[in-house]
């Protein structure tokens, strides 16, 4: 079976993409306990920031630098959403359902603004510098961009793991995760910590959007599909769990790409949802229990 190496490569690429979006999503969910639907559109916003810098205004800057600006922009967007929408709602003791609906509103508004400014046409971030090189491993072809996606996935989870374990910030986050009120009572500035969590989680989303922009291209509506896969991966792996989401993303990537080996590709999304339902029925807490 000479297509197996390529299928494995495709699964890892898809898994790494899902992992990146899930990591940011899970970080925010674990701390605030609500499904932040705006997470998907933050990824798109990061990608479009790079698109604006490099393609629309064609500012002659280093592409890596443009990406860094895109990532920081996405981070600030997430932070601003928390400051302007989610924090006031939390102060008013709004339920998680209200927060989720508010995030859906933010999602729709930002997506529509992107479409207004950049049209709803399909674009690609690809330039001559990146993505042109490709490597062959055991008969599987993988491009430079895809290698970067996989490396980014590994780097991000390692960093998050280290931060959670060894820094004061990480400990504060896990305190809020356990009980926000108690955390506040013992003197943790929860608003500031949650703001930082939004910044980091959204910056990771921005990074994901940018990498996808280089790999398969961008569209204002790219966020929804991305978010959907991210949440499926999160649920499979264990919602709110750092390593669980990472594992779930790769389970999803392999299930999707090997699932269509013998049947037609039109079933790819259906397979993702079947995996989701199986997990919801048999192991609702996910692979890794929080």
Partner 1 sequence: MSSIDDSLAVRIIKGHMNTTGRAIIWVVVLGIVAWAGYALLGSQPASPTGDTETATSTPISAEPIKIGFMGPLSGDAAVYGEPFRNMVDLAINEINAAGGINGAQLTPIYEDAKCNGKDGANAAQKLINADGVKVIIGGFCSSESLAAIPIAEAGQVVLFSPGSSSPDLTGKSRFYSRDYPSDATQGKVLADAAYNIKKWKNVVMIQEQSDYPLGIYNAFSSSFEPLGGKKVAKEEFPTTTTDFRSMLTKLKAMKPDALFINTQTPANAERILKQLKDLKWMPRIIVNDALSGDPKTVETNKTVLEGALAAEFGVDLNNAKFQSMTMAYKTKYGVDVPYQSYAQTEYDAVYIIRDALLAVGNDGAKITDWLKTVKDWDGASGKVTIGADGDRVGGHVLKIIKAGKTELYAMPTAAPATSTKQ
Query: Site residues (CB under 8 A) for partner 1?
Result: 2-3, 6-7, 10-11, 13-14, 120-122, 124, 126, 131, 134, 136, 141, 143, 146, 212, 216-217, 219, 222, 225, 256-257, 260-261, 264-266, 268-269
Dist. CA 147–CA 154, nearest whole Å: 11
For the CB of residue 176, give the shortest distance to partner 1 in the complex, in Å: 22
Residue 42 in tokens: 């933050």
Dist. CA 23–CA 199, nearest whole Å: 13
Dist. CA 248–CA 22, nearest whole Å: 9
Q: Which is nearer to partner 1, 124 or 174 (CB)?
A: 124
For the CB of residue 141, give the shortest distance to partner 1 in the complex, in Å: 5
Q: Which is nearer to partner 1, 2 or 181 (CB)?
A: 2
For the CB of residue 168, give the shortest distance to partner 1 in the complex, in Å: 34
Dist. CA 136–CA 100, nearest whole Å: 43
Q: Which is nearer to partner 1, 178 or 266 (CB)?
A: 266
Q: Which is nearer to partner 1, 9 or 172 (CB)?
A: 9
For the CB of residue 264, give the shortest distance to partner 1 in the complex, in Å: 6
**Would you report the helix, strand and coil content of the chain in percent, each value rounded to 5?**
75, 5, 20
For the CB of residue 260, give the shortest distance to partner 1 in the complex, in Å: 6
Dist. CA 265–CA 20, nearest whole Å: 24
Tell me how far CA of residue 194 lies from CA of 42, 55, 92, 184, 252, in angstroms.
17, 34, 16, 12, 29
Q: Which is nearer to partner 1, 85 or 224 (CB)?
A: 224
- 268 touches 18 (CB < 8 A): no
């Amino acid at each position: 079976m000479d297509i197996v190496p390529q299928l494995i490569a495709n699964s890892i690429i898809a898994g790494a993409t899902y992992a990146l979006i899930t990591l940011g999503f899970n970080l925010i969910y674990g701390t605030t306990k609500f499904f932040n639907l705006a997470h998907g559109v933050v990824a798109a916003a990061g990608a479009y920031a790079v698109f604006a810098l490099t393609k629309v205004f064609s500012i002659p800057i280093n592409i890596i630098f443009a990406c860094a600006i895109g990532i920081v922009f996405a981070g600030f967007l997430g932070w601003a959403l928390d400051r302007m929408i989610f924090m006031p709602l939390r102060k008013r003791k709004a339920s998680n359902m209200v927060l989720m609906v508010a995030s859906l509103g933010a999602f729709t508004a930002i997506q529509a603004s992107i479409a207004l400014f950049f049209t709803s046409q399909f674009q690609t971030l690809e330039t001559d510098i990146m993505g042109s090189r490709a490597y062959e491993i055991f008969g599987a072809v993988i491009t430079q961009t895809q290698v970067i996606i996989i490396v980014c996935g590994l780097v991000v989870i390692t960093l998050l793991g280290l931060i959670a374990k060894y820094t004061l910030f990480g400990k504060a986050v896990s305190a809020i995760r356990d009980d926000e009120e108690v955390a506040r009572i013992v003197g943790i500035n929860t608003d500031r910590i949650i703001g930082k969590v939004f910044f980091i989680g959204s910056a990771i989303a921005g990074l994901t959007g940018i990498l996808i922009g280089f790999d398969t291209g961008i569209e204002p509506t790219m966020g929804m599909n991305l978010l959907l896969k991210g949440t499926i991966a999160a649920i499979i792996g264990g919602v709110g769990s750092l390593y669980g989401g990472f594992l779930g993303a790769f389970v999803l990537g392999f299930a999707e790409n090997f699932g269509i080996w013998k049947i037609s590709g039109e079933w790819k999304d259906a397979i993702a949802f079947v995996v989701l339902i199986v997990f919801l029925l048999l192991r609702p807490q996910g692979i890794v229990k929080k």
